[in-house]
Amino acid sequence: MDAIILLGAPGAGKGTIADLVKEKSGYLHVSTGDMLRAAVKAQTAVGLKAKSFMEAGELVPDEVIIGIVRERMAQGGQDEKYMFDGFPRTLEQARLLDAVMEEAGSRVSRVFLLEASKELLVSRISGRRICRNCGAVYHVQNIPPQVEGVCDSCGGELYQRKDDSEETVLNRLEVYKKQTAALIDYYDAKSILLRLDASQPKEVTQARILEVLSRS
């Protein structure tokens, strides 16, 4: 069993890179959000515990998140390889994940930190537009629709999510910076952190990650 982690601020492209890497590697892309929803739907003991916090509008505690990660990893075989996207988010989650990996006789082998300027991150997120009807995603500069404000696929109205506004994005980036500084130092001290320029074309970042993994 092996695990790698993609770290990066909102807008760094973690999900996009994860999708590209999984296509050409044996790594399973693991999203804690997807696992939470699956555990709640399956009504596992940990899923029901998570549901109680979610329904109360509270953050799901680290111990519960890790419990769901442990459940998911228990479903895979000893040869399974996991790629965590944006998880862990805090130093405590990182330590708990290490404990889970140790229980399985393994470890986190690589952490890829996707870095980009604040200006680029704000531009990427605040320029995002989503179709109210089909959920298609556009960007006012990078992926503009043929007709402004109208979805190419279904003709639905395009809108900007509240948490994609520039003010909200700046706040999200500040929260990320505070949460992740200790996390970066933690993995750097283990000599498993690799910094990557997330302003490059996604194919360049994907190639670099695959090159590093091929040498592992």
Q: How many domains does one find in the chain?
A: 2
Q: Is residue 81 annotated as part of the catalytic site, yes or no?
A: no
Examine the residue annotation and report whether 128 is marked as an active-site residue of this protein: yes
Q: What are the two backbone dihedrals, phi and then psi, of residue 137, each rounded to the nearest 5 degrees?
A: -110, 135
Note whether 31 and 87 are same-domain residues: yes
Same domain, 68 and 154: no
My answer on whether 16 and 70 are in the same domain is yes
- The helix (run of H) or strand (run of E) holding residue 14 is helix 14-23
82 and 33 part of one domain:
yes
Same domain, yes or no: 63 and 103: yes
Per-residue pLDDT of the chain (216 residues; tens, 9 = 90+): 789 999 999 899 898 899 899 988 889 888 877 788 888 888 888 888 888 888 887 778 888 888 888 888 877 777 789 999 878 988 999 999 999 899 888 899 999 999 999 999 999 999 999 999 999 999 999 899 999 999 999 999 999 998 899 999 999 899 889 888 899 999 999 999 999 999 999 999 999 999 999 887
Q: Which of 24, 95, 132, 161 is catalytic?
A: 161
- Greatest alpha-carbon span in the chain: 54
- State which residues form the domain around 135: 123-164
CATH number at residue 82: 3.40.50.300
Confirm if 172 and 165 have CB atoms less than 8 A apart: no
> Residues 76, 106: contact at Cβ < 8 Å?
no
pTM: 0.83
Residue 89 appears among annotated catalytic residues: yes
Catalytic residue check, 190: no
